[in-house]
Every structure is written in structure tokens, then in C-alpha cells.
Amino acid sequence: MHAITDFMVNDHRSCDGLLVAVEHAVVNAAWATAQTEFARFSDAMRYHFAAEERVLFPLFEQSTGMYHGPTQVMRAEHTQMLQLLASTASALEAADSDDYAGSAETLLIMMQQHNLKEENVLYPMCDQHLADQLDALLPALQRQIAGQDESTR
């Protein structure tokens, strides 16, 4: 009954881990490593957003008829996180640790409060409404998250 929640939460935690790697590189002033790690993190985030916006949310919207509910808010928050990803990337390019700390901290809190809403409210609703579509849904989510959908790359 929690298949979607478990799958998506797992990917949230994996993105968290990638951000930690960037933070450690910045603290050690290893800017080149930080940029490489950040690229991995940023890709993982974009793939996660794509999995939601292309696969999960449309299915949820179709099955509940809620087109302007929680999914709309989540899309708007994705846009805000993409802006923060861009400002964090600029701080890394400029090797500015203060700017990096500010952008990354804001991104972290934005990300986690967004994750909380999804993990506590939206994903359980998806589990409730999409239980009969898991066989097709989970592999489709997996493809997006692995970055195997060419159009997201």
C-alpha cells in the first residue's frame, strides 16, 4: 500500500545524499569536485521533477480529477527549486563559499519542506488512488529517475 511513497521517498533521500557530497567538497575548498558533485545532484533533482511532472502527477490528476490541487503547488515549488539550483550553481562557479552556503541552505529547506508535503500528503494520496496502476507506473518512474528519458537530459 506504500509502494509509491516508498519509491519516491527513497529517491528524495538519495538526492539528499548527493547534496551532502557537494557540501563536504565546498567545506574542503575542493571546488572542482564540488562542481562535479553538484552536477550529479542537479541532474538527480531534475530527473525526480520529471518523474513527477511527466508520469506521477498527470496520472494522479486523471484519476482524482484534481488538476489545480496539490500537484499544481508542487509544480510551482519545482520551479522555485530550479531557480535555487541555478543560483547555487553560479555560487559554485564563482567559488564563493558564502553565497554557496546561502543558496544551498535555502535550497535544502525549500526541498525538505516540499518533500514533507509530498511524503506526508501527496504520495499517500497517490498510493490510495493509483494502487491498480503500479505495474506500469513504477517502471516508468524508475526510467525517469535514472535519466533514461532522452527528453529530460
Partner 1 sequence: MQALLSFDQAPPLAAPLRFFLTAPLFAILAGLLLLWSGPDLFASRWTPAALALTHLISVGFMLQVMLGAMIQILPVAAGANLSRPLLVASLVHVAITLGALLLAAGMLSYEPLVLRLAVFLLGSGVALFVGAAARSLYGVPSTNPTVRGLKLALSGLSVTVGLGLLLAIAFSGGFELPLPLRQLTPIHLGWGFVGWGVLLLAAVAFVVVPMFQMTPPYPAAFTGTFSWSVLALLCMWSFAAGAAWHWPSAILEGAVVLSVASFAALTLQVQSRSKRAKFDATQHYWRVGMLCALATCVLWFAAAVVPALAERPEWSLCCGVLALVGGFMSVMIGMLYKIVPFLVWLHLQNRGGGRVLAPTMNKVIATRQIDRQMYAHLLALALLLAAVVWPLWFSYPAGLAVVLANAWLLRNLLTAAAFYRRHCLKIEAWEAATATPVG
108 and 84 Cβ atoms separated by less than 8 Å: no
CA 80/CA 125 separation, integer angstroms: 23
In the bound state with partner 1, the residue whose beta carbon lies nearer, of 90 and 148, is 90
16 near partner 1, judged by CB under 8 A: yes
Cβ 12 to partner 1 shortest distance, Å: 9
In the bound state with partner 1, the residue whose beta carbon lies nearer, of 55 and 70, is 70
Among residues 6, 14, 24, 29, the one that binds partner 1 under rule CB under 8 A: 24
In the bound state with partner 1, the residue whose beta carbon lies nearer, of 41 and 144, is 41
CA 7/CA 44 separation, integer angstroms: 14
15 and 139 Cβ atoms separated by less than 8 Å: no
Place of cell 545524499: 17
Q: Where does this chain touch partner 1 (CB under 8 A) — which range of 16-24, 39-47, 50-58, 131-139?
A: 16-24
What is the per-residue binding string for partner 1 in 69-108, x denoting contact by CB under 8 A?
A: xx-xx-----xx--xx--x----------xx-xxx-xx-x
C-alpha cell at 151: 527528453
118 and 74 Cβ atoms separated by less than 8 Å: yes
CA 31/CA 77 separation, integer angstroms: 28
59 and 130 Cβ atoms separated by less than 8 Å: yes
In 3D space, the residue among 70, 90, 147, 134 whose CA is nearest the CA of residue 78 turns out to be 70
Q: Where does this chain touch partner 1 (CB under 8 A) — which range of 12-20, 46-54, 130-138, 140-148?
A: 12-20
List of residues contacting partner 1 (CB under 8 A)? 16-17, 20, 23-24, 26-27, 66, 69-70, 72-73, 79-80, 83-84, 87, 98-99, 101-103, 105-106, 108-110, 112-113, 115-117, 120-121, 124-125
